[in-house]
């Protein structure tokens, strides 16, 4: 009877392994269908200061291993319900069991079983009856691997966390670099990226687009008469009024100062002129209230769309700019194409 033999082996006094992973004691799952054998094994492991749980059969072992995720598994081979190797194979297929250190306990150890066991994913062997010192020596090797494994997992987690932080920061910086802080609108850099994309789509697929440049009328007078803070509020209110007049994929960006650019995808010049007129009315009807200020401002708008006569993106933007200039010259608060 193997258990009886093991019990007679004199205890060699070595300091307990007392192994910990980080600040946690290492957990071992001990599995044997023979109660005497199991009790001996558990007593030995507890003396070595491990945190031990036990299972009396293969099915229970599998369930506990998946639930408790022990760092080490010491499993008997010959068991009636599910043998040791079947337990090991099932565990190695699971993500939890993939990194578990597994010691197989067996009475017989033929070459065939040895080959089959390593093939199934066993890390090491202990033959019953076990010598306490020999078992501890083998566990020591397992603990070393389990510690390395835990370190690998900690490092992986740290790297993933750092990567996530870095990505979040990059996204924030990217958003900030493309946003105007005063109005929250996309800024000039974004506008230039966007018209570049649209221009390429026009060249490739013939999809038309329009730009509407707009400039607040006599804005300097707002600053001069009511102060810079009121001027800022007028800029914010104008941004919102323009936005409210847009739909779908149309986008308004602040180019700088009191100048904005609206980009209308898929629009011909005549469609752009209609959008521009809608914007003009929206701004004209938007009364801005601020201490000492209670009126609407107006904008002058210049529309330019893609067509054969426009040789480049620069030419398109220049055309819209010149149309604004014309609108200013022809009395302001109007749209020119």
Q: Annotated catalytic sites, by residue?
A: 258
Element holding 251 (H helix, E strand): strand 251-256
Element holding 139 (H helix, E strand): helix 132-177
x-marked contacts with Mg ion along 67-106 as a string, rule CB under 5 A: ---------x-xx---------------------------
For residue 172, the minimal CB distance to ligand GH3 (Å) is 23
First and final C-alpha spacing in the chain: 102
- Residue 299 touching ligand GH3 (CB under 6 A): no
- Residue 215 touching Mg ion (CB under 5 A): yes
**From candidates 121, 231, 272, 305, binder to ligand GH3 by CB under 6 A:** 231
Tell me which of Mg ion, ligand GH3, none is bound by residue 223, counting a contact when its beta carbon lies within the kind-specific cut-off of 5 to 8 angstroms: ligand GH3
Using the rule CB under 5 A, give the single segment among 39-47, 62-70, 182-190, 329-337 that binds Mg ion. Answer: 329-337
Structure tokens at 9: 């082996």
- Quickly list DSSP for 145-214: HHHHHHHHHHHHHHHHHHHHHHHHHHHHHHHHHTB-TTT-SB-HHHHHHHHHHHHHHHHHH---EEEEEE
For residue 234, the minimal CB distance to ligand GH3 (Å) is 7
Strand partners, 125: 104
Neighbours of 194 (CB within 10 A): 19
Structure tokens at 98: 């993939």
Tell me which of Mg ion, ligand GH3, none is bound by residue 284, counting a contact when its beta carbon lies within the kind-specific cut-off of 5 to 8 angstroms: none
CB contact at 8 A, 305 and 263: no
**From candidates 102, 216, 261, 337, binder to ligand GH3 by CB under 6 A:** 216
Using the rule CB under 6 A, give the single segment among 88-96, 140-148, 218-226, 240-248 that binds ligand GH3. Answer: 218-226
Q: Which is nearer to Mg ion, 51 or 269 (CB)?
A: 269
Distance CA 334, CA 330 (A): 8
Q: Which is nearer to Mg ion, 245 or 337 (CB)?
A: 337
> Sign of the C-alpha dihedral, residues 320, 321, 322, 328?
positive
For residue 287, the minimal CB distance to ligand GH3 (Å) is 18
Q: Which residues bind Mg ion (CB under 5 A)?
A: 33, 76, 78-79, 215-216, 219, 258-259, 319, 337
Q: Which residues bind ligand GH3 (CB under 6 A)?
A: 182, 215-220, 223, 228, 231-232, 235, 257-258, 328, 332
């Amino acid at each position: 009877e193997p258990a009886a033999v093991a019990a007679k082996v004199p205890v060699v006094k070595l300091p307990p392994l007392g192994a910990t992973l980080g600040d946690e004691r290492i957990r071992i799952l001990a599995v044997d269908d023979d109660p005497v054998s199991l009790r001996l094994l558990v007593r030995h492991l507890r003396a070595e200061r491990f945190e031990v749980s036990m299972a009396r059969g293969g099915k229970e072992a599998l369930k506990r291993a998946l639930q408790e995720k022990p760092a080490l598994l010491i499993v008997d081979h010959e068991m009636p319900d599910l043998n040791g190797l079947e337990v090991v194979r099932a565990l190695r297929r699971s993500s939890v069991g993939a990194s578990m250190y597994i010691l197989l306990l067996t009475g017989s150890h033929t070459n065939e079983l040895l080959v089959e066991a390593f093939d199934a994913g066993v890390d090491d062997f202990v033959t019953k009856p076990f010598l306490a010192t020999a078992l501890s020596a083998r566990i020591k090797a397992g603990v070393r691997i389990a510690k390395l494994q835990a370190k690998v997992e900690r490092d992986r987690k740290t790297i993933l966390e750092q990567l996530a932080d870095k990505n979040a920061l990059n996204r924030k910086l990217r958003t900030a670099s493309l946003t105007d802080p005063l109005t929250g609108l996309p800024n000039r850099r974004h506008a230039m990226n966007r018209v570049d994309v649209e221009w390429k789509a026009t060249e490739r697929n013939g999809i038309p687009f329009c730009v509407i440049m707009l400039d607040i009328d006599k804005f300097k007078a707002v600053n001069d008469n009511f102060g810079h803070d009121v001027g800022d509020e007028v800029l914010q209110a104008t941004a919102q009024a323009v936005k409210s007049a847009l739909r779908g994929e149309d986008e308004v960006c602040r180019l700088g100062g009191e100048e904005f650019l609206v980009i209308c995808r898929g629009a011909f010049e005549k469609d752009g002129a209609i959008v521009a007129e809608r914007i003009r009315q929206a701004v004209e009807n938007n009364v801005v209230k601020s201490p000492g200020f209670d009126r609407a401002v107006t904008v002058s708008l210049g529309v330019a769309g893609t067509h054969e006569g426009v040789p480049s993106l620069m030419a398109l933007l220049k055309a819209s700019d010149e149309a604004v200039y014309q609108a200013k010259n022809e009395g302001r608060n109007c749209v020119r194409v």
